[in-house]
Every structure is written in structure tokens, then in C-alpha cells.
Structure 1
Amino acid sequence: MTAQPQEHPLIRVREVRSLERSAFARKLRERSAELGTPLGTGRDGVLRWESGRTPDNLTQLVMADVIGIDSALVESHPWPQWLQFDPLQQPNEYPWSGPGTVGALKDVIGSPMDRRTFFLGSAAMTAALFSWLTADPVAAAQLTTGRRIGEGAVTTIERRVRELRLADDEDGGGTLIRDTAATLAAVTDLLTNRSHTLAHQRRLYAAGADLARMRAWAAFDVHGRCDDVAFKAALQAAHAADDPALGAHTLTFWAAASYNTGRAVEAHALASAALAAVRGRAAPRVEALVLARRARARSHLHDVGCWRDLDAAQTKLEAARLDQTGEPEWAYWFDGSEYAGSLASTQLAMGRADQAEKGFALSAREAAGTVRTQAIYLVRAADAQLQQGHVEDACATAHHALDITAEISSQRTTGPLRDLAAALASHSHIPEAREVRERISATI
């Protein structure tokens, strides 16, 4: 299946300025006339650019002038990458300190659809990774004003985080966006307005990191967007908690959201940074899940190094079965079924559909208790079957996936199901294919 497409950045340029396509086109015409290079751009021209067509160089320079972006950036970055420098869409920058981390987490609490930006440019992402890997631990005396909290308050927060994590396993989707925000607001309030021991402070930061990560993942789940700003806030909170393994866990989800939205190069960088932080220093299961995620990123780049990562992940997972010493509770989800799913997804991306089909079938059976995961594996299994020419089998599997998809709020199967429907178009002479296409169209 293809990666979920990112919304074209020109759409966000217009949205933050409250401009319809016709109004944006008018601004381009007016400014180009002032510059002595009149353009005839209309609403349809803007629509074509947002649909994938590249404007000519003169139009891009006029557009940059209207937006407020230096023309040198137009020359040094291809379309539409230079739109990331839109001055109205730059995220707030927070220092890698206690107060800075709280500020970053508070930004996450607001609806991700209301924030000005989701996307960090490559340079900003690199800077975030460097800061996470090299910054000093958070000082113990930060944020210790007001009445001291005790074990009961921290334990209550951690229990709620655990409940939300399990809810994410089952469904994900819109309710998780709301519920993580409410709990994250409580965490930031405790960090800001109450005093606590260093141990309790770090546990609160760890809770904030997991909540911000879940919120970012839920935004991807529902909207198909990789929310870099929320993932970065989660990374900062993991650093404030002095927990490199938790930071690496955040990076693996950031990587997955990246390679599923067409950003495989960034995904590889994120997963590699995670591996650098935990290799030889974390529980075997943690290393296994990081290696598996990097394998997935590499498969999107058609890099044969993915097989080495998977072999290493399998070795680490086998070690984890024998020894769970020091294993964080959040690592529970990466088990044999998840490994099999990662292997099958990698096989599919690398053109081994026959092997992938068997792996997805196994993973779907073992994931019966987690409905969303089972639905995703079934859609991928249908894709693998179709790639082998097994149309009727693919249709039967797709029906099973659609039955399950109706029970959940997650939208992560939507894009793959649309891709499957498109692939089945050439088989419309087969009744089963027509039926599945009609059902997909009616469902999503």
C-alpha cells in the first residue's frame, strides 16, 4: 500500500491566512502587477498546484514575496519544500529545560487541528535529535513552588496513562485525542503549580512524554498527519524525565508516522537516533522494537539493511523472553505478533508478497484482542493477496477487515482500503471485486 499522503503545504499557507483559493490567486495577480511581471493566476491554478502540479519559477518567486519567504530559499529548496519557511507557521521554540518542557507540553494540549503547524523542516528535526542526545539532565530544583504533592497523586496520573495506553491498543482515534489532552493538562498543572521530589517530578515528565506521544499518534490515526511538534514535545518530556529509553520509544512512533506519510528519509534518521540512544543500554525488548521500526523505515527506502535489523530484532526479542529485567511497562506491546507484523510489512514493501501474506495472516489471528491492529493487518494481507493475483481471496479478506473497521474510530485503514479499491478496478469484471469496491466506497 502507498503511504498516506500529506496535505499539500500550500493549503496550510492559505488556511493560516484565511484565504480561499480565489483570494490567494488575486493576491498573486496584484503583487505580480506591482512587480511588473503580471500573472493571470486564477482559482483553478491554485487548485492544480495543491493537487501536485509545480508552478513555474516566476510564479514561485511572486508567491514567496506574498507569503514573506526569502527568495533565496526558493532557489535553494525545491517546490513545495520551501513553503515550510512560511513565517506564520513556525512552531514555538522551547529550551530543553523544565520550564521549556512544560511550555512544549502545554502547546500539545490544544487541538492539533488548531495549531499553526505540524511539520518540522529537516534542519529543525536534526536540531531536536541533537538536543535530545546531548543536553544535560534537568536540574532538580526546577518547578518546585507551591504545595508539595505525594506518591498518591503521581500514582493516580500513572494509572490513568496506563488506561489510555490500553485504550489506544483497542481503538485509538478521536476519543484518545480528547482524553490525553485532559490528562496532560493535569500533568502540566502539577509540574507548574505544585512542588515535588525529584523522583516524582521525573515520573510526571515521563507521564507527560507518554501522553504527548499518544496524542501525536492519535492525530496520525485520525487525520493521517505526522504531528512533528507534538512528537518533539514528547521527546523533550522524556529527556526531562532522564529516560533515554522512553525518548527512543517516542522516536519509534515518530518514525512510523513519518514513513507512513511519505517521509522515509526522516523516519530512518529518527529510528537511527533512537537506536543510538538505547543500543547496549536498554532492555532487550526495547532494542528489539527500535530495530524493527528502523527496518520498516529502511524498507520504505528499499534498503536491504532492513533484513539485518529484523534479524537483530528477533535475537533481542528471544532474549527478552528469557529475561525481562529492567523492562519498562510500556514495552509490553512489542511481542511475537508485532514482530511478525513488522516482518510481513517489510516483506511486502520489499516485493515479497507471498511471504508477507502468511505473516499478516498469523499476526491478524494473534491480534484478535486488539481490534485496530487486527484490521490493519487484514488490509495488508488483502493487498499481499491481490499482488499475487489472488483476487477472490483478497476480496474475502477485505470484507473481514471492513467488518472490523466498522467497530473502531481509527482511520488508519482508510487510505489502504482506498488503495485496495483502486487496485481492484482492473478486476471489475469479477463480481467479488465489484462488491468490495462498492462496500469500501459506501464505508469510507
Structure 2
Amino acid sequence: MGSSIGANIRHLREQRGWSQARLAREVCQAARVCGEPVGRQEVSRWETGKRTPREWLPFLATALGVNVDALGALQKPTEPAVPTLAEFLPEGDPLSPLEYGTGRRIGMGTVNELQQRVHGLRLADDVLAGGDLIRPALRDLRRTVKLYRESSHTGEVGQQLLRQIGELAQIAGWIASDAGQHEEAERIYRLGISAAHQAEDHTLSGNLAGSLAYQMSNTGRETEGLALARAALNDAGAEAPPKARALYLDRVAWAHTKSGGAADEQQAMRALGEAEQALSEDDEGIESPVYLYWVDAGELKVMESRVYTELHRPLRAVPLLRKVLGGYDATHAREMALYLSWLAVALADANEPEEAAAVAERVISLGSDTSSKRVMERLRVILGRLRDFADVPAVAALLAEHQRSTNPV
């Protein structure tokens, strides 16, 4: 019966769109108790069957709007549920407070300082690669988690601190992934998803989950990447800001593209169309989070062109990439190198090996000035594709020069 109660609690909570933290507060309110004798962790234990609510059952029933018997009733089997982000959270709770209320008191001034530091790190990532930023990013993340766990603060300040942990985890995870530290990046992303969930910020959790899904799709975990990309989109819901929804749909499109199933190409095209439609609604007065400053029509076109390249449709990919690259900020060397890498592959697919080799030379030049594992991986892909044209003089010269530079005598 305990497992039935747990499943029913989770089902009823998700029906209402509540987080575990929200249900905990509703239970305490129904019981008319002060403080937080029931918290998110306790609700999680009830739902997983690790603990039975017992004396809290009447208050749970009141909060969920059912009678006590309904909480223990066996439910008929249903269709497999759409995955939710709760399934991707880390084991345990790395954000649980330590000796809550005994540390130094902090207020919104501290939160504002953190916001400025986090945004500064985002801007630095625009022009620097993961290898250059990984140490300061991880240092800032550890300090912020420590601050949240050990300081004394109000509930509102605590919620804002959790948001900053989530935002910092998003950029730190991205930086770690760019530095080739994929396991570390996944741990960081999952920590951030947990923080965003506790802060009840669905837009932020969707952004984090989409970034992790993107990494999974690019590192041989296509099935997991697709499930998580869908979960991010579904969890955020239709009320997500336009830029956020466009980004989630872009991640879904890429995940379908990498999955490569019979119906995936059609699903990818559909998601790209929906992303464009979502972004077109950005002028309707719905404010998007600051961290989505980079999401615009150009970025959507980049993803569209990459999807076409991956699907070996160069006649669609090449014009899109040329148009985007024609107006791209040259100071963003890593992104320029990455986008050029897709152009090189698309040109090779279009049977234009000389032009592909010329673009590849630019990727090599830009890559020599950036410590990005992403760029190095894309260069490997380009050179592998160009080996099919090894008898073309321009390609042969490029391959020989690269061989000499990487294996000097």
C-alpha cells in the first residue's frame, strides 16, 4: 500500500502542476503548523515509498483535494507518462542547508552581486573557450552553493539564491562541456536542474535540461537526449517565454536529427517550424530571462542549417550558413569556427571539395586560438569528410599540412 500511496501522491501533485516544494507548503498550511516540518525532501521520500506519510495523511488529502482512502487506492495501469525533469535530478539533495540559520545573515544585496558575476561569466563565454573559463566557473559555483547552504536568509532570498545557482550551473555546465569534461558538465547540469526545481523556476530548469539534452545527443546518448529534450519542453509548458520555448524546440529538433529514426526527420522539421513561430511571438510583451539574450532569428537559422547538414541536404544548408556567417561577430571566434565547420561539411556534401578545404583552413586558424574541445571535435569531423576527396590537390595539401602540424618530426 505504501508504494500505491507514493504513486498517488505524485500523480495528484503533477495533475495540479505543483512542485514537491509547493506540496510541502500546502501540507503545512493544511495542518496549520508554523515553520517547515515537512519539506521537499520529505515529499520525495513519500513519493518514492522510502517513507509513509502516516500522521500527515489527512493533511495531504486536504491539500490534494481528495479523501484519505483515495490516496491508498490502486490505480489502473495507464499509458507510459511523458518523462518529467524530476527523473533527471541528482541522487540525494546536494543543496540541503547545513545548520540552517546559524551562518551569517545575507540579503538581496548579495543576490544582486551574484547576478552581476553570473552575467559577466556569460559574456566572457561569448569570447573565450571552455578551457580558459572552467576553473573560475567551477570556483564560483562551489562558492555560491556553499553560501546558500551555510548562510542565514529569508525564504525569498533563499529562492533567489537557488535561481542564481541554477543560472551559474547552466553556464558552468556549458563551459565544462566545451572543455570536454562531459561527466563534470552533467553533474553540474543536474545540480542546476535541482536548484531551479526547488526555486520553482520552470523556464530555468528547461534551459538547463535542454543544455544537458544537447550534450547527450552529441556524445552518443541520442535516446536519452531526445527524452530529456522533450521533458524540458513539456515541463516548461505553453506559458514559457517565447525565446525559451523557441530554444527548447530547437533542442528537440536537434535531438530528433541525431536520433536518426524513420520519423525523426519529419519531427525535426516540425520542431524547427514551431521554434520559428514561438520566436515570432517575442514582441508581444512577454519578458524573457536575461540569460536568453543570445537567442534570436540568426541562432535559429544556424540550428536549421545544422539540421540540414546532418541530414545531408547541402542545398538548403549552405545558403543559410553563408547568410548567418556574413553578419556574425568576428570576436566570437569559437562560434565562428563551429559554424564554419558545418559549412565545410555541407560544401563537401555538395561536391565542392576545394571550397570546403578553404573553409576548413579558416576553422583550423580560428581553432588554434581557442581551447575548445568542441572545435577540435568538429575539425576531426571535417578532416574525416574531406578524406573522401584526398585526390583533389587543395584537399591533399590541407590534409598534408595538418598532418605535419600535428605530428612534427
2:219 pairs, out of 251, 255, 261, with: 261
Match of 2:328 among 367, 385, 388: 367
Q: Does 1:417 align with 2:375?
A: no
Alpha carbons of structure 1 residues 394 and 324: separation in structure 2 relative to 1, 3 Å: farther
What's the counterpart of residue 379 of structure 1? Answer: 341
SS at match of 2:351: coil
Aligned residues of 1:128 and 1:232 also touching (Cα < 8 A): no
Equivalent pair of 1:264/1:300 in contact (CA under 8 Å): yes
Per the alignment, residue 329 of structure 1 pairs with: 290
Instruction: Give 5+ residue unaligned stretches, structure 2.
Output: 1-38, 45-82, 90-94
Q: Once structures 1 and 2 are overlaid, which stretch shifts more, 308-317 or 216-225?
A: 216-225
What do the CA deviations read for 1:381-437 (whole angstroms, capped 9, x no partner)? Answer: 000000111011101111122222222221212122112222222322322112322
CA distance in 2, matches of 1:287, 1:142: 38
Distance 1:143 1:282, change over 3 A: farther
1:212 — aligned with what? Answer: 169
Q: TM-score, normalised by structure 2?
A: 0.72
For 1:179, the equivalent position in structure 2 comes to 136
Contact 1:417 1:440 in 2 (8 A): no
Higher relative contact order (CA 8 A, sep 6+): 1
Q: Structure 2: how far apart are the matches of 1:330 and 1:295? A: 21
Contact 1:149-1:194 at 8 Å conserved across structures: yes
* Cα deviation 1:306-351 (Å, max 9, x = unaligned): 111111100111111x135231111111111110011011111222
Structure 1 residue 96 displacement after superposition: 6.3
Distance of 2:367 and 2:250 partners within structure 1? 26
Q: 1:289 aligns with which of 204, 222, 247?
A: 247
Give ranges in structure 1 of 5+ residues lacking alignment.
1-94, 101-125, 133-137
Q: Which residue of 2 aligns with 1:57?
A: none
Residue deviations 1:49-84 (CA, integer Å, cap 9, x gap): xxxxxxxxxxxxxxxxxxxxxxxxxxxxxxxxxxxx
Measure how far apart 1:142 and its partner are: 8.9
- Which has the higher mean CA deviation after the structures are superposed, 244-253 or 184-193? 184-193
CA 1:375 to 1:229, structure 2 compared with 1: closer, same or farther past 3 Å? same
8 Å contact 1:209–1:238 — kept in the other structure? Answer: yes
Structure 1 residues 257 and 140, CA, compared in 2 at 3 Å: closer, same or farther? closer
- Over 3 Å counting, the alpha-carbon distance change for 1:360 and 1:142 in structure 2 is farther
TM-score by length of 1: 0.67
SS of residue in 1 equivalent to 2:195: helix
2:315 maps to 1:357: no
SS in 2 for 1:412: helix
The answer for the alignment partner of 2:118 in structure 1 is 161
Structure 1 residue 130: Cα displacement = 3.3
- Whether the aligned pair in 2 keeps the contact of 1:354 and 1:388 (CA below 8 Å) is yes
- What displacement does 1:224 show? 6.1
Match of residue 194, structure 1, among 145, 151, 156: 151
Distance of 2:88 and 2:306 partners within structure 1: 32
What amino acid is aligned across from residue 247 of structure 1 in structure 2? Answer: S
1:442/1:215 Cα in 2 relative to 1: closer, same or farther (>3 Å)?
Answer: farther
Q: Tell me if 1:248 matches 2:210.
A: no
Aligned partners of 2:141 and 2:104: how far apart in 1?
A: 19
* Cα distance between partner residues in 1 of 2:279 and 2:253: 15
Q: Is the 8 A contact 1:96 1:131 kept in 2?
A: no
Distance in 1 separating the partners of 2:332 and 2:98: 42
Flag the 1:432–1:326 CA change in 2: closer, same or farther, 3 A: same
Structure 2 CA distance, aligned partners of 1:234 and 1:278?
Answer: 15
The DSSP-based 3-state class of the residue aligned with 1:144 is coil
Instruction: State the AA in 2 paired with 1:356.
Output: A
SS class of match (1:413): helix
RMSD: 2.7
Counterpart position of 1:401: 363
Residue 236 (1) aligns with residue 194 (2) = yes
Call closer, same or farther: CA 1:396–1:351 in 2, change over 3 Å. Answer: same
Q: Does the C-alpha gap of structure 1 residues 348 and 324 become closer, same or farther in structure 2, counting only changes over 3 Å?
A: farther
Residue 435 of structure 1 is aligned with which of 368, 393, 397? 397
Equivalent residue letter for 2:158: Q
In 2, are the aligned partners of 1:224 and 1:412 still within 8 Å (CA)?
no
Amino acid at match of 1:344: S
Distance 1:360 1:185, change over 3 A: same
Paired letter, 1:254: L
Q: Distance in 2 between matches of 1:221 and 1:179?
A: 14
Question: Letter of the aligned partner of 1:359 in structure 2?
Answer: L
How far is the alpha carbon of 1:272 from its aligned partner? 0.5
Structure 1 position 215, deviation (Å): 2.5
User: Is the Cα contact below 8 Å between 2:85 and 2:228 reproduced in 1?
Assistant: no
Alignment partners' CA distance in 2, 1:399 and 1:311: 33
| Contact 1:364 1:375 survives alignment (8 Å) | no
